[in-house]
Structure 1
Amino acid sequence: MGDRLVCVGSYTEDSGGSGPGLTVLREDAGGTLSTVAELGVSGCSWLAWHPRLPVGYAVNELDLGGVTAFALDADGTPRVLGTLDSGGSAPCQLTVTPDGRHALVAHYGSGSVAVLALDERGVPTRRADLAELEGSGPDPDRQEAPHAHMVTLDAAGTLATVVDLGTDTLWSYRLTPEGRLVDRVASRLPAGCGPRQLVRAGGQQAYVVTELTSELIPLRESAPGVFEPGEGVPASGWPERNHCAQLALTADGRFGFVSNRGPDTVTAFALAGDAAPRVVAEHPLGAAWPRHFSLDGRRMYAAGQTGDVVVGLELDPATGALTERVRHPVASPAFVAAVPER
């Protein structure tokens, strides 16, 4: 396997961290990671890529949130293409529509989701819509108001589902060609669970990971955007409070992985249709507070936020087992993923 570029987003001083913002790493054929370049991008806690253009997007997780579009030069050096106010506070996640016309942004702080229009270069130019959520949950510290933690799209890119940690709700909207969010439907999850991330697994099967009860909950999407929860499975054997963060599935859907902040592990689940998820193994990362990880074929990259390290692991596709390959220092990493090949 030849060289590849890996992008790391980190919390900066103005967002409670000590990182540079955007760091570009190169992984050579032997698996060694080295730093190519850094770019100052405030509150760079989540990254996404345009489906066709060589353009990336970073949230600016600040009180006055924004989205920064960037490109990588031939040698991997990043440069800013443009930044746009996202219309809310503490944007923590974003996704781009399959047609490349819009980016959708989840605001944890203000409990809203924005739709940003992208021009022919992939640069955000204006806010097409802003959907504000309402309600609360039983946890007075974390659920005093809505907290949108993720917005995900169906395969067609016309159905947007917002994961609201603050109200234990999945809010689904139809996304119009003009970028408007309409026809809202609410799917309620168990009270106090604090949903964080949602992944569709094909057909009617989906999964949600919860932060407050630290579970992987299977879901049935009985109609587009309508979710019925099954029985949750604990994400860790840790005896103290766990704070689940990231959820990802292998391409074949056989395994799901959840990162656990506190025990600082990644748990592998065997997945089989309607059957309850089954824990296969819980892998210690040796990297404190693993906020995000990504899967890239047989490789996993994990960001240890308070451990100031990025860890690369090898995934056994037959068993779901993980083996560490490499680690590389990056201050306050919040997101890490390989750059898509174009």
Structure 2
Amino acid sequence: MRSALYVCLQDDDRIAAFDIDAQTGGLTAMADLSVAGGPSVTALAQDRRTLYVGHRGQPAISSFRIDQKTGGLSLLGTIPQKNAPTFMAPDRSGKFLLCAYYQGKGVAVYSLTADGAVGAPSLDWLATDNGAHAIATDPSNRFAFVPHIANLNDNVLEPRRENPGPNMILQFKFEANTGHLIPNSPFRVDQPAGAGPRHYCFHPSLDLVYFSNEQGCGVTAYRLDAKTGALSAVQTISSLPAGYSQRNTCSQIHLTESGRFLYVGNRGHNSIAGFAVDPGTGHLSVIGQVPTEAVPSAFAIDPSGGFLFAAGTATGRLASYRIEAETGALTSLETLAVGQRPAAVQPVRLPS
């Protein structure tokens, strides 16, 4: 199996591309691509043939064809946006792209054309609130959720400022035939004070959803009612070591395809926290925290589930780790200088 890794360098206006060695996790640089407008967020089409890139400096969404032999990227098209997309994900059918807008206070759904490009205008626009940070459909493609953080513009490189956010998760029904989002009932899942749900991922076989809590510095597992699409919290666990009290916010959250191990980024503590997932219940237990580059806002697990790559927003470096198959512990491999403000890390499985 061959895989490529794409790293969006927001302040360099380019995407760095690497070939991943399937045995060692080593990275070999491929041709970079100049991408104007501050590339900062990515999503991968369900058929793995199209890469979607959100631009932060000049708000837009671009679609790139992925060459299945070389991993090279070629532009299919770009659609301007009023606000920069914060998070993007295709629905499970591959017909639609869902987008969340942190500053734009809402979510949108776009149709995807026959060649995989994003169509315009959007099919749906729903106003939510400040700090809308993610949206994706569940494995059944019937429901979607939009987390909103608890403190806006919470940059760990600056002194903390109180700028309260909505601190909630909104629940939607998703019409897979039309791409429309419909508020579910209940619509709002309120959070404990200071939690700040940010990103989430679904367990591959259990009706569970795991959310990273940006301000709460941990993970909350929710039971997903398969009939109604309603979430109910079942466990919250810290991403930090006992006794740590300095500035920190959580970033992304990712689960291995096997569902055995889950990871979340700590910005401030500057680590990747790992958790073992009970195969029967989905209950989380702490593996530990491994130091990484400063401000790991973006990281990803390669398609084999054997390696993890974490980008340091503050250092411009990419750290590689082996995921130990039996324990889920992370073993440090190499660290590469990649460029200014790496904001997204996207692995892609290519045909052998």
Length-normalised TM-score, structure 1: 0.87
Indicate conservation of the 8 Å contact 1:26/1:36, yes or no.
no
Match of 1:15 in 2: none
Match of 2:173 in 1: 174
Q: Which amino acid aligns with 2:325?
A: P
1:53 to 1:200, Cα distance in 2 relative to 1, 3 A: closer
Q: What is the rounded CA distance, in whole Å, between the counterparts of 2:167 and 2:4 in structure 1? A: 37
1:56-205 correspondence to structure 2 within 5 Å: 56-62=51-57, 65-73=59-67, 74-86=69-81, 88-126=82-120, 127-134=122-129, 146-165=130-149, 166-176=165-175, 177-184=177-184, 185-201=187-203, 202-205=205-208
1:209-220 correspondence to structure 2 within 5 Å: 209-220=212-223
Match of 1:52 in 2: 47
Q: What is the rounded CA distance, in whole Å, between the counterparts of 1:315 and 1:231 in structure 2? A: 24
Correspondence 1:312 to 2:320: yes
Indicate conservation of the 8 Å contact 2:42/2:88, yes or no.
yes
Q: Pick the aligned partner of 2:237 from 217, 233, 237.
A: 233
Q: What is the rounded CA distance, in whole Å, between the counterparts of 1:21 and 1:172 in structure 2? A: 35
**TM superposition shift of 1:279:** 1.4
Structure 1: tracts of 5 or more residues without a match? 13-18, 135-145
1:32 to 1:178, Cα distance in 2 relative to 1, 3 A: closer
Indicate conservation of the 8 Å contact 2:18/2:27, yes or no.
no
Match of 1:16 in 2: none
Q: What is the rounded CA distance, in whole Å, between the counterparts of 2:202 and 2:250 in structure 1? A: 18
Match of 1:252 in 2: 258
Q: Which amino acid aligns with 2:14?
A: G
In the TM superposition, what whole-angstrom CA distance separates every residue of 1:73-111 from its partner, at most 9, and x where no partner exists?
44333221111134x523111001222211001101122
How large is the Cα RMSD of the aligned pairs? 2.1
Indicate conservation of the 8 Å contact 2:265/2:273, yes or no.
yes
Q: What SS does the corresponding residue of 2:179 show, helix, strand or coil?
A: coil
In the TM superposition, what whole-angstrom CA distance separates every residue of 1:257-284 from its partner, at most 9, and x where no partner exists?
1111111111111222557522111111
Q: Which has the larger displacement, 213-222 or 268-277?
A: 268-277
Correspondence 1:208 to 2:211: yes
Q: Which amino acid aligns with 1:9?
A: C
Q: Which amino acid aligns with 2:200?
A: L
**TM superposition shift of 1:116:** 0.9
Match of 1:326 in 2: 334
Q: What SS does the corresponding residue of 1:148 show, helix, strand or coil?
A: coil
Q: What SS does the corresponding residue of 1:46 show, helix, strand or coil?
A: strand
Q: What is the rounded CA distance, in whole Å, between the counterparts of 1:319 and 1:67 in structure 2? A: 39
Q: What is the rounded CA distance, in whole Å, between the counterparts of 2:199 and 2:169 in structure 1? A: 10
Q: Which amino acid aligns with 1:314?
A: R
Q: Pick the aligned partner of 1:283 from 273, 276, 290.
A: 290
Q: What SS does the corresponding residue of 1:125 show, helix, strand or coil?
A: coil
Q: Which amino acid aligns with 1:310?
A: L
Indicate conservation of the 8 Å contact 2:90/2:136, yes or no.
no
Q: Which has the larger displacement, 215-224 or 321-330?
A: 215-224
**TM superposition shift of 1:293:** 1.2
Correspondence 1:341 to 2:350: yes
In the TM superposition, what whole-angstrom CA distance separates every residue of 1:50-95 from its partner, at most 9, and x where no partner exists?
1126111011124x63211012344333221111134x52311100
In the TM superposition, what whole-angstrom CA distance separates every residue of 1:276-314 from its partner, at most 9, and x where no partner exists?
5221111112x1111111112111111111111112211
**TM superposition shift of 1:27:** 3.1
Q: What is the rounded CA distance, in whole Å, between the counterparts of 1:54 and 1:334 in structure 2? A: 21
Match of 1:23 in 2: 16
Indicate conservation of the 8 Å contact 1:37/1:78, yes or no.
no
In the TM superposition, what whole-angstrom CA distance separates every residue of 1:118-148 from its partner, at most 9, and x where no partner exists?
11011112210111114xxxxxxxxxxx211
Indicate conservation of the 8 Å contact 2:271/2:296, yes or no.
yes
Q: What is the rounded CA distance, in whole Å, between the counterparts of 2:281 and 2:8 in structure 1? A: 35
The answer to which structure, 1 or 2, has the higher relative contact order (CA under 8 A, 6+ apart) is: 2
Indicate conservation of the 8 Å contact 2:301/2:308, yes or no.
yes
Indicate conservation of the 8 Å contact 2:267/2:297, yes or no.
yes
**TM superposition shift of 1:245:** 0.4
Indicate conservation of the 8 Å contact 1:197/1:246, yes or no.
yes
Q: What is the rounded CA distance, in whole Å, between the counterparts of 1:303 and 1:175 in structure 2? A: 32
Indicate conservation of the 8 Å contact 2:33/2:73, yes or no.
yes
Indicate conservation of the 8 Å contact 1:95/1:104, yes or no.
yes
Match of 2:300 in 1: 294
Q: Which has the larger displacement, 311-320 or 44-53?
A: 44-53
**TM superposition shift of 1:191:** 2.7
**TM superposition shift of 1:114:** 0.7
Q: What SS does the corresponding residue of 1:149 show, helix, strand or coil?
A: coil
Indicate conservation of the 8 Å contact 1:308/1:333, yes or no.
yes
Q: What SS does the corresponding residue of 1:95 show, helix, strand or coil?
A: strand
